[in-house]
Amino acid sequence: MEETLVVQNVKKTIGKKEIIKGLSFSLKKGEVFGFLGPNGAGKTTTIRMLVGLIKPTSGKIFVCGYDLQKQFTKAIQHIGCIVENPELYPYLSGWENLEHFARMLPSIPTTRIQEVVELVGLQNRIHDLVRTYSLGMRQRLGIAQALLGKPTVLILDEPTNGLDPVGIREMRQFIRTLAEQEQLTVLVSSHLLSEIQLMCDRVAIMSKGEVIRIDTVEHLLKEQARTYWNVHPIHIAKQILKNETTVLGEKDDFIVTVYEANEVIARCNARLIEAGVSVSSIERKLPTLEDLFIELTGGETID
């Protein structure tokens, strides 16, 4: 698959402190890539380097083959982004904001503005002043703005921040659609594992300026998610489960096993019932970000 964004050993030092300690990764066409990490892990700094707001101290960033440092205009043309909040001009209407940014791109026809407005579903309010928009509408206008120049890579910093549950779900679906149908590379950052899990194909986990792991979401979850069995009596159940899956231990009244596919869970359940064990609940639990971190970093906590 085609690589659209390549980051090679990027470092950033501010004063004497190394904020970003050598990042390397590459994104492919049509994938949603998640940046996961607690606040202060360096997600936003990294994103700002990817869009040219901050110059890396060393290392290289390539967008569609263009060096971001040396061929800035050519490289940035392929990037659409929202960094942190979608801050637009409140005293202009949504439409005027889009026109404003369209004028900064090489030849964007009015039809393209209309197109992105429809894409984000803002037709009804587009001629109102941005001052009167809700946060969700601003977020959508921000995305419209990012999509104007038909970018190859879309970079969104905490895209669901401040949205209500419906808005979050819409945003998720929207991002998936962009990646699947328009074949965009989408990079999103988040500090919520649940969000990354639902949206992304691959994820990079950041901590203290370093990527500690890059993997597919599926793989990572399989490794880290747990299944909790509330069963009685526990010792019989444990024997049965040991034959079918890996038992990790007991916690309170639960038996903890690794994450398994649906068929495996169902089969285990059937076996338990056959043996006369009462099963009151089977629950798959994602590790909290904190657990994941402790697991991945070997005891290092979020601070």
Partner 1 sequence: MINLVYNEMLKIVRKKRLFIIAAIVAVLVSLFTYAQFKQVETIRERIGTTDWRTQLQQQIIDTQNRLNSTGISEEWKKFLKIRLQQQQYYLDNDINPMAPGAPTFMRMFIENSIELFLPLLVMVIAADLVSSEASGGTIKLLLTRPVKRWKILMSKYIAMILSTSFIVFSVAVLSYAISGIVFGYGGWNLPLLTGFSIQGEELNTAGVHLIPQWKYLLIEIGLAFFVSLVVGTLTFMLSVLLRSTAAVMGIMLAALISGAILSSMVSSWESAKYLFMVNLRLTSYVSGMAPPIDGMTLSFSMTVLAIWALVALIISFYVFTKRDVY
Binds partner 1 by CB under 8 A, chosen from 81, 117, 126, 277 = 81
Q: Which position among 16, 103, 235, 281 is part of the footprint of partner 1 (CB under 8 A)? A: 103
Name the one range near partner 1 by CB under 8 A: 98-106, 205-213, 218-226, 259-267.
Answer: 98-106
Using the rule CB under 8 A, is 73 a contact of partner 1? yes
Instruction: Identify the residue among 52, 59, 162, 167 touching partner 1 (CB under 8 A).
Output: 52
The smaller minimum CB distance to partner 1, of residues 47 and 203, is found at 47
- Contact between residue 21 and residue 11 where contact means Cβ atoms under 8 Å apart: yes
Q: Cα dihedral sign for 48, 54, 56, 62? A: positive
Using rule CB under 8 A, residue 53 touches partner 1? yes
Q: How far is CA 83 from CA 88, 92, 129, 142, in A?
A: 12, 20, 21, 10
- Does the footprint of partner 1 cover residue 17 (CB under 8 A)? no
Stretch that binds partner 1, among 77-85, 114-122, 178-186, 265-273 (CB under 8 A): 77-85
Q: Binding marks (x or -) toward partner 1, 142..161, rule CB under 8 A?
A: ---x---x------------
β-strands 202-207, 32-36: how paired? parallel
Residue 76 binds partner 1, judged by CB under 8 A: yes
**Residue 131 near partner 1 by CB under 8 A:** no
Which CB, 106 or 298, lies closer to partner 1?
106
Smallest gap from Cβ 142 to partner 1, in A, equals 9
Q: Which residues bind partner 1 (CB under 8 A)?
A: 48, 51-55, 72-74, 76-77, 79, 81, 83-85, 87-92, 96, 100-101, 103-106, 145, 149
